[in-house]
């Protein structure tokens, strides 16, 4: 029997699972969350369930269709919720299911791991009451709660305005939306955004509704500091050389999204630097095949294109997987999916123009700024390491400073650390490289590591280093 595993039960993973079931397979669907949907279609626990329109707004129809498709698959897939894949050895997956360690040997693997917040720290970001935009959205969707009664949303990216709108709809008091993108960015981004006029119109709607609600919207902002005694009480910011301070009880901030690529790294996939996303991404062809035979990539975990594109890519990768297993597939359907993905990529280019990362962030970061909150590594320590050792590579910087060695394994700090390293060393972002994925990709009990060692695939004598 052929065993196919899909890691991630968001739009990409669910669409892929449906295609594999239709072809007669029974895929294993693995996800860390207790319910399917990913971040965009996150489902709250039953006692906190609300109508789809209240949870997903314009996307309620898509969410309902996705959940209905999953319900129809029950009994035809092996769904493993609340399960973490923390290590990959060849075709063997190491899982933590609740408090139980397990292994799964697969014939083919699809990684649909999604994305997390892309963070560029600012002074005071470690104060209680400061959250990422994704965390603010999870609190609202999953727990029906707000991160504070008076919230400032700051940073850049479409999620900035979406979450602000969702908070106003939920009765929250949004004190301000502070966008670090240049004021003329919308005009320059318009040609790319028109590749998907419907989605662009939704963004315009959110802006209009925020203005009608009286929410102050500011572009071209520089975040100065979050301040407060015991927890955040205000955010200081600058615009056109003028200083401002906005009182608040909480801050949600972020600079778009970054792909979750650690499992692709452990699977042995090759990576390339993507100039659009300014990040290292696992290599894949237009069908979703990675550089490793039998490993496929789909959704935001291989490049940020959004939920609609994730569904298309999930089905396309499933067709590639089936074809590689020797099954016949509908070539016209495969080509149609690839054509449908083209405007998604043009739209993504428009978004990057609309919401660029601050080019001078590293130069402006104060030496006292905490970059890695897990290990409390500051910008000054990173610069000193570069100055004193000549370091020009991310993994060397990690070894010397412990940047990225903490609980998040670099998810929160790597974006900022790479920029500081490049700025201090006088080189480019591609030249500093990327943090290599390490097992376990997330914390697991020490007993799980012992169990995994006992279950490890033996290394043939001819391949041993000793």
- The mean pLDDT of the chain is 94
Helix, strand, coil fractions of the chain, as percent rounded to 5 = 40, 20, 40
Q: Which of 34, 252, 52, 235 is nearest to 135 (CA)?
A: 252
The residue-averaged pLDDT of 174-187 equals: 96
How many angstroms separate the CA atoms of 104 and 99, rounded?
A: 16
* pLDDT tens digits, one per residue of 46-87: 999 999 998 898 999 999 999 999 999 988 999 999 999 999
* pLDDT tens digits, one per residue of 398-416: 999 999 999 999 999 999 9
Query: What pTM did the predictor assign?
Result: 0.94
Q: For the chain, how far is it from start to end, CA to CA, in angstroms?
A: 36
Query: Residue 456's pLDDT is what?
Result: 67
The answer to whether the CB of 273 falls within 8 A of the CB of 84 is no
Tokens representing 312 are 């298309």
The residue-averaged pLDDT of 269-285 equals: 96
The answer to whether the CB of 104 falls within 8 A of the CB of 3 is yes
* pLDDT tens digits, one per residue of 314-344: 999 999 999 999 999 999 999 999 999 999 9
How many angstroms separate the CA atoms of 44 and 37, rounded?
A: 10
Q: How many residues does the chain have?
A: 466
Query: Residue 110's pLDDT is what?
Result: 98
DSSP states of 189-232 as a string? HHHHHTTSHHHHHHHHHHHHHHHHTT--EE-SEEEEEEE-SSS-
Q: In Å, how far are 43, 151, 217, 260 from 34, measured between CA atoms? A: 9, 28, 36, 19
The residue-averaged pLDDT of 360-368 equals: 97
Beta pairing, strands 257-259 & 115-117: antiparallel
pLDDT exceeds cutoff 70 at 459? no
The residue-averaged pLDDT of 136-146 equals: 95
Who contacts 425 (Cβ-Cβ below 8 Å, separation ≥6)?
Answer: 386, 391, 392, 432
- Pick the residue with more confidence: 452 or 288? 288
Query: Residue 210's pLDDT is what?
Result: 97
How many angstroms separate the CA atoms of 69 and 22, rounded?
A: 12
The secondary element (H helix, E strand) that includes residue 130 is strand 130-132
Query: Residue 173's pLDDT is what?
Result: 97
Query: Residue 466's pLDDT is what?
Result: 47
How many angstroms separate the CA atoms of 86 and 102, rounded?
A: 11
Query: Residue 452's pLDDT is what?
Result: 76
* pLDDT tens digits, one per residue of 191-243: 999 999 999 999 999 999 999 999 999 999 999 999 999 999 999 999 999 99
* pLDDT tens digits, one per residue of 371-384: 999 999 999 999 99
Q: Which residues share a beta bridge with 30?
A: 7, 80
DSSP-H helix ranges across 292-445: 307-324, 331-354, 361-364, 379-389, 394-401, 414-425, 429-432
* pLDDT tens digits, one per residue of 434-451: 999 999 999 999 888 877
Q: Considering just the CA atoms, what is the radius of gyration of the chain in Å?
A: 22
Query: Residue 448's pLDDT is what?
Result: 83
pLDDT exceeds cutoff 80 at 368? yes
Percentage of residues in the chain with pLDDT exceeding 70? 97
Check residue 415 and give left, alpha or beta (phi > 0: left; psi -120 to 50: alpha): alpha
pLDDT exceeds cutoff 80 at 461? no
Ordered by where they begin, the domains of the chain are 4-116+258-327 (3.50.50.60), 119-255 (3.50.50.60), 361-432 (1.10.10.1100)
Query: Residue 217's pLDDT is what?
Result: 97
Name which of 2-16, 36-50, 358-372, 382-396 the model is least confident about. 36-50
How many angstroms separate the CA atoms of 350 and 348, rounded?
A: 5
Name which of 140-144, 267-271, 426-430 the model is least confident about. 140-144
């Amino acid at each position: 029997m052929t065993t196919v595993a899909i890691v991630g039960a968001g739009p990409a993973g669910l669409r892929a699972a449906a295609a594999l079931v239709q072809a007669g397979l029974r895929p294993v669907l693995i996800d860390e969350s207790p319910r399917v949907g990913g971040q965009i279609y996150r489902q709250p626990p039953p006692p906190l369930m609300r109508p789809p329109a209240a949870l997903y707004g314009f996307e309620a129809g898509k969410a309902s269709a996705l959940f209905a498709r999953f319900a129809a698959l029950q009994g035809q897939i092996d769904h493993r919720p609340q399960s973490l894949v923390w290590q990959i050895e060849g075709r063997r997956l190491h899982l933590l299911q609740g408090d139980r360690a397990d292994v799964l040997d697969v014939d083919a693997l699809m990684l649909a791991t999604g994305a997390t917040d892309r963070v560029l720290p600012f002074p005071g970001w470690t104060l209680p009451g400061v959250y990422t935009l994704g965390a603010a959205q999870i609190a609202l969707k999953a727990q029906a709660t707000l991160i504070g009664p008076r919230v400032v949303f700051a940073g850049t990216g479409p999620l900035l305005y979406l979450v602000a709108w969702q908070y106003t709809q939920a009765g929250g008091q949004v004190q301000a939306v502070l966008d670090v993108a240049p004021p003329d960015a919308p005009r320059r981004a318009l040609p790319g955004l028109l590749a998907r006029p419907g989605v662009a119109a939704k963004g315009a709607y959110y802006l209009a509704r925020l203005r009608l609600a009286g929410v102050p919207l500011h572009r071209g902002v520089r975040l100065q500091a979050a301040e407060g005694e015991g927890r955040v009480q205000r955010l200081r910011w600058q615009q056109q050389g003028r200083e401002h301070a906005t009182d608040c009880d909480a801050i949600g901030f972020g600079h778009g999204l970054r792909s979750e690529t650690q499992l692709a790294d452990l699977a042995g996939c090759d990576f390339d630097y993507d100039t659009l996303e300014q990040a290292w991404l696992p290599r894949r062809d237009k069908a979703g095949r990675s550089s490793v035979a039998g490993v496929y990539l789909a959704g935001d975990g291989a490049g940020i294109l959004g939920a609609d594109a994730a569904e298309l890519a999930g089905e396309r990768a499933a067709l590639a997987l089936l074809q590689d297993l020797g099954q016949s597939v509908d070539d016209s359907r495969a080509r149609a999916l690839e054509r449908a993905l083209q405007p998604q990529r043009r739209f993504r280019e428009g978004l990057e123009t609309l919401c660029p990362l601050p080019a001078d962030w590293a130069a402006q970061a104060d030496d006292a700024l905490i970059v890695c909150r897990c290990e409390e590594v500051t910008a000054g320590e990173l610069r000193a390491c570069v100055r004193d050792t000549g370091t020009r590579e991310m993994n060397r910087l990690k070894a010397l400073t412990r940047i990225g060695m903490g609980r998040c394994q670099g998810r929160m700090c790597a974006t900022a650390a790479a920029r500081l390293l490049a700025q201090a060393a006088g080189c480019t972002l591609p030249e500093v490289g990327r943090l290599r994925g390490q097992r376990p990709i997330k914390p697991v009990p020490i007993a799980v590591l012992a169990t995994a060692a006992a279950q490890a695939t033996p290394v043939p004598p001819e391949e041993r280093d000793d």
